[in-house]
């Protein structure tokens, strides 16, 4: 099941019709109150979320989804007319997995949905690297037994590197895997996130290694 929260009737009806015609069961909602009522009944496999909404904006809706343990890992694609780099970074850092700017083609949206569902299909695990422990399912990070608070993108970046320990990721590939291939910001975004991630991890920050001229990896204990 896919939920679409979109107050534009024509967009909502067209997207829901297309998804259903492609064998993807989908429901549309014109306001957050109706969306939250449906969420109480059933959590979908993915949410398509507009930013400009009545009652409360899409960023607020997304933050509530991310802070609820039941829905914290729910895949979210933002659909919005806002297309500046700042708006994209704001939405992605708030927890969106991908970002599609209106107007969009339905074939592109279908491709993004399928790609995101593939990326999020694997079961979350627990990772240990020296003094660093990450419980992906419970969204808990500890260093020497002390809790570390990370942003959503810092957490996803860390998990990706731990899942592929020893593998070097280019900045471009990290943007594709963590921010979604729709992200068009400069690759320095990765460097900024790696720097803050290392700072927050303290002594475990050394495990995130720079491969000069290429990218980043986690290998062994730093």
Burial status of residue 193 (CB atoms within 10 A of its CB: 0-12, 13-18, 19 or more): buried
pLDDT tens profile 143-152:
999 999 999 8
How confident is the model at residue 206, as a pLDDT? 94
Average pLDDT over residues 41-66: 92
* pLDDT higher than 60, residue 51: yes
* Dist. CA 87–CA 166, nearest whole Å: 34
Lowest mean pLDDT among 25-29, 30-34, 116-120, 215-219: 116-120
* Dist. CA 151–CA 5, nearest whole Å: 24
Q: What is the pTM of this model?
A: 0.58
How confident is the model at residue 158, as a pLDDT? 95
How confident is the model at residue 132, as a pLDDT? 95
Print burial letters for 130-145: b (CB count within 10 Å at least 16), e (below 16): ebbbbebeebebebee
pLDDT tens profile 7-16:
999 999 999 9
* Dist. CA 2–CA 4, nearest whole Å: 7
């Amino acid at each position: 099941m896919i939920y679409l929260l979109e107050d534009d009737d024509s967009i909502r009806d067209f997207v829901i019709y297309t998804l259903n015609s492609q064998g993807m069961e989908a429901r549309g909602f014109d306001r957050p109150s109706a969306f939250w009522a449906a969420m109480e009944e059933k959590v979908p496999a993915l949410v398509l979320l507009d930013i400009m909404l009545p009652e409360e904006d899409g960023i607020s809706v997304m933050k509530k989804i991310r802070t609820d343990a039941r829905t914290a890992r729910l895949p979210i694609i933002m659909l919005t007319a806002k297309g500046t780099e700042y708006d994209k970074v704001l939405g992605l850092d708030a927890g969106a997995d991908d970002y599609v700017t209106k107007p969009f083609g339905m074939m592109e949206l279908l491709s993004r949905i399928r790609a995101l569902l593939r990326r999020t299909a694997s079961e979350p695990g627990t990772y240990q690297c020296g003094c660093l422990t990450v419980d992906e399912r419970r969204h808990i990070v500890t260093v020497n037994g002390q809790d570390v608070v990370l942003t959503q993108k810092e957490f996803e970046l860390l998990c990706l590197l731990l899942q592929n320990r020893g593998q070097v990721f280019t900045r471009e590939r990290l943007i594709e895997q963590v921010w979604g291939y729709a992200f068009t910001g400069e690759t320095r975004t990765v460097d900024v996130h790696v720097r803050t991630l290392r700072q927050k991890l303290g002594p475990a920050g050394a495990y995130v290694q720079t491969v000069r001229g290429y990218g980043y990896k986690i290998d062994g204990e730093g």
